[in-house]
Amino acid sequence: MTVQTLPFSTLIAIDRQSTTPIFTQLANALIDLIKKGQLKSGYQLPASRDMASMLNLNRTTVVAAYEELQAQGWAEAIKRKGNFVSMHLPITSPKPFQDNTLAMSTAKDPNRFYRTIASPQSGTRKLKPQQLMINDGYPDARIAPLDLIIDRYRFLSKRVNTHNKLLSEGSLGSNSLRTELALFLSKTRALDINAEQVLVTHGAQLAISVAASMILRPGSPVIVGDMNYVLADRLFEQLGAKLIKVKVDQDGIDVEAIENICKQSRPSLLYIIPHHHHPTTVTLSAERRFKLLDIIRRYQLPVIEDDYDYDFHYENAPILPLASAEHSGYVLYIGSISKTLAPTIRLGYLVGGEDFVWQASKLKQAVDIRGDVLFEESVAHLFTTGEMQRHLRRSVKVYKKRRDQFCELLQSSVGDVAKFISPKGGMAVWTLFDPGYSIPDLAERLATKGIYLNDGSLHKYKDDVNGIRLGFASLNTNEMQTFAQALKKSR
């Protein structure tokens, strides 16, 4: 009597060209069938000779595969009966990673093992890959030289000696990238620095975190704009700092107010975005810049200067950073390569005194032993060959054209219910809607048309502000027109 069995010849595919041993391929294929439930516990596997015949394999190969299954606990051999799928499979049923502590998130529980960062958002809209996204102001990855980075990465990855060399460079980051950044920043921002004064990080946000953690203690007073980069504010508060908010107007942060605060008691830190302040995109005026530098020197005021998109100016030459002037070592300069290339390229940097940067690298090492040094080397190659500089020149031309087109379309779509000023630089337009106009409702209506728009809640700093940042740099002409038409119909 012939025993009926599964059609293993069609269920299992063996790749004879693969570098994976054939017995391992067979064992993995059987494990996969068990995981899918096609082979149940207690199922008797075909005799090794029969399985070998079905798959056109050597019998010893099948025996080796069965022994591998037994070793891993997926099968068991019963004397004089054969091989069976194990009754106690090495699979555990997953359980939700949740317990009563989450249910008690609003209760005062001193035994909770985690800190609440923010309240869960109800009804958060999920973005589908095919939808159009109006972001906060990101570069367009489609025009970035990412292929050159990948090619260089592939080249370096095949050189074993390169791996060993790069591992010795530690948490400061790739020496090549730090050297290229020091040269680039000296030429474009007049920073008199060397590679030992540059710390490479996974994005500018980590650079801010490391710098602030070196300075702040619980209760430390920090001056920030009354409308400010919200993730920086959250970071300072998580470090236990006390925020002192100072007005930001069309000329940047109120420097007179900063001096008045310093006269009373010097704060621990000033966080400032001189170029294209987030979210309003305003730039600190030259007059205020000179006065602020004087305040920094006189009151020995530590400063984090966040210059995330300095390179993107469209009307005239940018004002040099605070860090380029004489500041007696009190200004820490932070920049972003992510804003130059693509938001998924997580690279930023911190510039400071050599001792501060070295100490900061040790603090960074506690949470990030080292970055992807091969990737950092690959990005450094863009600077070395001049491709990064060429990319920046091309990008400025493209983004300037997109800014002009976007502002024209925005005016025709919502000009009667919103006000904005065409930014002199950066990648977003700060748009203020009339009081009472619901940006969340607008976002919901656009979502039904397949367009994602931030609901403005991140920028709801005070009751009289009803604004949102609308990123234009990552949108081509068709995408801008699609957004403008949907915006006009969804008002």
Walk along the chain (491 residues) and give the pLDDT tens digit of each residue: 445 678 888 889 999 888 888 999 999 999 989 888 889 899 999 999 999 999 999 999 999 999 989 988 899 999 889 999 998 888 655 555 555 444 444 445 555 555 666 655 544 555 555 589 999 999 999 999 999 999 999 998 887 677 666 666 678 999 999 999 999 999 999 999 999 999 999 999 999 999 999 999 999 999 999 999 999 999 999 999 999 999 999 999 999 999 999 999 999 999 999 999 999 999 999 999 999 999 999 999 999 999 998 999 998 777 899 999 999 899 999 999 999 999 889 999 999 999 999 999 999 988 887 778 889 999 999 999 999 999 999 999 999 999 999 999 999 999 999 999 999 999 999 999 999 899 999 999 999 999 999 888 877 666 678 999 999 999 999 999 999 999 999 88
DSSP 392-428: HHHHHHHHHHHHHHHHHHHHHHHTTTEEE---SBSSE
Structurally, how many domains does the chain consist of? 3
Tell me, yes or no, whether 226 and 356 share the same domain: yes
Question: What b/e readout covers 285-300, taking b as 16+ CB neighbours within 10 angstroms?
Answer: beebbeebbebbeebe
What phi and psi values does residue 334 have, to the nearest 5 degrees?
Answer: -125, 135
Question: 371, 388, 405: which is the final residue of a domain?
Answer: 388
281 φ/ψ sector (left φ>0, alpha ψ -120 to 50, else beta): left
Q: Is residue 105 part of a domain?
A: no
Tell me, yes or no, whether 435 and 471 share the same domain: yes
Q: Is residue 31 part of a domain?
A: yes
Domain range for 279: 144-388
Q: Is residue 258 part of a domain?
A: yes
Q: Is residue 95 part of a domain?
A: no
Tell me, yes or no, whether 81 and 168 share the same domain: no
In angstroms, the CA 485 to CA 405 distance is 14
Output the six-digit token pair for 89: 């499979």
Tell me, yes or no, whether 74 and 58 share the same domain: yes
CA 340-481-415 angle, to 5 degrees, is: 95
Tell me, yes or no, whether 342 and 403 share the same domain: no
Question: 388, 417, 444: which is the final residue of a domain?
Answer: 388
Q: Is residue 96 part of a domain?
A: no
Indicate which CATH number applies to the domain containing 310. 3.40.640.10
Tell me, yes or no, whether 402 and 357 share the same domain: no
| pTM across the whole model | 0.76
Amino acid at 93: S
Which of 404, 401, 434 minimizes the C-alpha distance to 417? 434
Indicate which CATH number applies to the domain containing 14. 1.10.10.10
Which of 176, 172, 161, 200 minimizes the C-alpha distance to 377? 176
